[in-house]
Structure 1
């Protein structure tokens, strides 16, 4: 389990990015973080990844404190960040150097098959499309069998058709070992498609506004029963989070939801 207790972040210039976040992510759970710009979603993800240090509070992955980059945590960024001098297969297997060569090859080949790139193992990153490069990045994150996977808007630059395809590849890999997943996104439909629970954040300083559990069966489709209702629930909370605190409760739910349509 991932546990955060009153995690805060204040930058050197005095900017309070996070005002104290307490949350728990359960084993195998997919959690989506939503919120307006400047609410601290990516800051929080960087803290969990160990890429930055909090100003206060504590973070634990199972029984271990998170004090820096953790071997049990995988990260997929907005950009694929592939190593251009390595082949597709070598990029995917980059974190498996400690394993025997045969096991490394088998794991890499399996991950590439799961994302539909089994025939591309010997190609170079520059020869791939943007969507293919992001599939390589996803395979690279899963191949190490992380306990926790962090996704920082990895599909934001892709067209809707490619995004839907990558959602399927992501869930296909997740089904095998079911790591905990924390996804930062600005796309409400993406959050409803992927997450078991949506956490909406409020800015200035960043803090949790509310959470919306999503008890929809998978695979999820925008036209499936319950999808539209879940989307509207998330939109209503998201709209409320963008209102000044003193007026948020005065905005009727139907009006708030309409602001996003």
Structure 2
């Protein structure tokens, strides 16, 4: 269980990025964080990854506090961030140095096969397309068997066809070990395609505004009535989140 309790983040210049975030994510659930610009989605992901410190509140993984990078938490960025001096296989194996060589090779080979890049194991990152590079970064994240996987808009720079293809590869890897997944996205269709729950955030400061359950069978057809209904529900929640918060009613007897 990933547990986030009363989490807030205020930067040195006084900007309050997050306020009072509370979220429980059971093991194996995929949660999409969605909201307008400036609502703190990436900030929240960085805090869960241990890359930044919260101003208040706690993050726990199975009861263990997270305040620094944690071996049980993997992260995939918007850009692949591959190491150019390592081959595809070398990039996927990065971080597995403590494993016996045979196990390391077996894990890497399996992960590359699952993302459709087995034949590219010996190639260099510069020889791959953008979509192929992102497949390598996804394989690298899964090969370490994380308990929690964080994805920060990993498909936003890709065309629609490549994005949908990568959704399939991501879900295939997830189905094997079922880590908890938090994915930041601006794409409502992506949230419906991947997530078990979409959490809508409100900006300035970032806080949770609504949650939409997505109990749809996989694989999901975006044109299916259930998917279209879920899309409309999330869009309506997003619309509400972007409106100014209603002022509290004035007590006529305040004096």
Range of TM-score over shorter length:
over 0.9
SS at match of 2:85: coil
SS at match of 1:60: strand
State the match for 2:18 in structure 1.
18
State the match for 1:233 in structure 2.
233
1:108, CA displacement in angstroms?
0.2
1:111, CA displacement in angstroms?
0.1
Q: Return the alpha-carbon distance in structure 2 between the equivalents of residues 224 and 90 of structure 1.
A: 40
TM-score (normalizing by structure 1):
0.94
State the match for 1:151 in structure 2.
151
1:223, CA displacement in angstroms?
1.2
Map Cα deviations across residues 129-161 of structure 1 (whole Å, 9 max, x no partner).
000000000000000000000000000000000
Q: Return the alpha-carbon distance in structure 1 between the equivalents of residues 113 and 224 of structure 2.
A: 28
- Structure 2 gap ranges (5+): 248-255
State the match for 1:250 in structure 2.
none
State the match for 1:141 in structure 2.
141
1:47, CA displacement in angstroms?
0.2
- Structure 1 gap ranges (5+): 248-261
Q: How does 1:210-225 map to 2 (within 5 A)?
A: 210-225=210-225
SS at match of 2:12: coil
State the match for 1:256 in structure 2.
none
Q: Return the alpha-carbon distance in structure 2 between the equivalents of residues 214 and 19 of structure 1.
A: 26
Q: Return the alpha-carbon distance in structure 1 between the equivalents of residues 139 and 102 of structure 2.
A: 18
Q: Segments of 4+ in structure 1 off by > 2 A?
A: none
Q: How does 1:22-101 map to 2 (within 5 A)?
A: 22-101=22-101
Map Cα deviations across residues 137-193 of structure 1 (whole Å, 9 max, x no partner).
000000000000000000000000000000000000000000000000000000000
Q: Return the alpha-carbon distance in structure 1 between the equivalents of residues 4 and 171 of structure 2.
A: 25
Q: Return the alpha-carbon distance in structure 1 between the equivalents of residues 6 and 175 of structure 2.
A: 31
SS at match of 1:210: strand
1:225, CA displacement in angstroms?
2.9
Q: How does 1:170-249 map to 2 (within 5 A)?
A: 170-246=170-246
Q: Return the alpha-carbon distance in structure 2 between the equivalents of residues 215 and 66 of structure 1.
A: 29
1:233, CA displacement in angstroms?
0.1
1:64, CA displacement in angstroms?
0.9
Q: Return the alpha-carbon distance in structure 2 between the equivalents of residues 216 and 64 of structure 1.
A: 31
SS at match of 1:5: strand
1:95, CA displacement in angstroms?
1.2
Q: Return the alpha-carbon distance in structure 2 between the equivalents of residues 162 and 213 of structure 1.
A: 26
State the match for 1:251 in structure 2.
none
Map Cα deviations across residues 175-213 of structure 1 (whole Å, 9 max, x no partner).
000000000000000000000000000001100001000
State the match for 1:167 in structure 2.
167
Q: Return the alpha-carbon distance in structure 2 between the equivalents of residues 215 and 100 of structure 1.
A: 40
Q: Return the alpha-carbon distance in structure 2 between the equivalents of residues 12 and 43 of structure 1.
A: 14
Q: How does 1:102-121 map to 2 (within 5 A)?
A: 102-121=102-121
TM-score (normalizing by structure 2):
0.96
RMSD value over aligned CA atoms? Answer: 0.7
